[in-house]
Structure 1
Amino acid sequence: MSEPYADEVFYKDDYEGTPFEAGNFSRLSKRASDIIDALTDYQVSKIGLDKFSEHVQLLIKKACCAQVEYYQIEGIQSDISGTTQSGGSLSIGGFSYSGGMQSTSKQANRVAPACLSYLEATGLLRKRSVRIGVV
């Protein structure tokens, strides 16, 4: 496996992300890098991060950090189950609380919105098109 796209020093010093438990960063950043690879059709891992311009490298690192932070806030379970901690609801007696609206797609809940924003600016997001044909 290749190295994660962002290291702990970048996350803490440059991105200034949400603090995490000691020893967790490696696992979370590897998982975040896997998400980035899937979203970009593995272009970054095929080409190599260092082959991109400095600006695109920075955006990829920030996307990785945004995904790590998402795991910190929403829980790593969001990657496994597609459900987030904040998207749930709670009822106690007459009191009811409902989190933010969740996407109906479990896959959409796996990815941090900020991660997608950074990747969109790189031009690397996989384009999905619809083909229309005449029968």
Structure 2
Amino acid sequence: MAQPYVNEKYYKEEYEGTEVESEKFPRFSKRSTELIDALTEYQIPKIGLDKFSENVQELIKKACCAQIEYYQVEGIEVDITGTPKSTLSYSIGDYSYSASGGASSRQGNRAAPSCLMFLEGTGLLRKRSVRIGVI
């Protein structure tokens, strides 16, 4: 398995992301790298990160950081359930609250919108005309 695309120093000093506990960072970084690899159809490990231009390498690292930050804010469980904390509903007595994340499927919530934005700039995401949803 490939090394994570970012280390904690890059995340803190270059990206300046939301604070992540040091003991959680390796897990978040590894999961983020795995998600980015899946989203880009494993082109990055096939080609090698160092083979891309500096600009594309930077966008990949930012995408990884954005996903790490998403895990910190929404919870790592989003990687399993596809449901971020911000889309949950709850009730207390007569009061009820419901929030929606705007994605049409639970799996669409697994990737941070900013992660996808950075990856879009790399040209590594394939445009698809067929949309498959989870029932």
TM-score normalized with structure 2 length: 0.91
Question: Does 1:39 pair with 2:22?
Answer: no
Q: Which residue matches 2:10?
A: 10
Could you list the structure 1 runs, at least 4 aligned residues long, displaced by more than 6 angstroms after superposition. Answer: none
Tell me the equivalent position of 1:57. Answer: 57
Identify the residue that residue 133 of structure 1 maps to in structure 2: none
Q: Equivalents in 2 of 1:104, 1:125: separation in Å?
A: 19
CA contact (8 A) 2:6 2:61 kept: yes
2:31 partner letter:
R
Instruction: Provide the alpha-carbon RMSD of the alignment.
Output: 1.2
CA–CA separation in structure 1 for the residues paired with 2:99 and 2:37: 29
- Alignment of 1:30 with 2:30, yes or no, is yes
Which residue does 2:71 correspond to in 1? 71
Aligned to 1:97: 97
Distance 1:123 1:73 in 2: 27
Q: Is the 8 A contact 2:101 2:109 kept in 1?
A: no
**What's the offset of the Cα at 1:20?**
1.2
Report the count of equivalent residues. 130
Residue 121 of structure 2 corresponds to 121
TM-score (normalised: structure 1): 0.91
Q: CA shift at 1:2, angstroms? A: 1.1
Gaps of 5+ in 2: 131-135
Moved more, 70-79 or 19-28: 19-28
Equivalent AA in structure 1 for residue 47 of structure 2: I
How far apart, in 2, do the equivalents of 1:67 and 1:111 lie?
7
Identity across aligned pairs (percent)? 62
Compute the displacement of 1:97 (Å).
Answer: 1.8
Instruction: Tell me which amino acid in the other structure corresponds to 1:127.
Output: K
Q: Deviations over 1:22-68 (max 9, x none)?
A: 21111111100011011111111110111111110000000000000
Unaligned 5+ residue runs, structure 1? 131-135
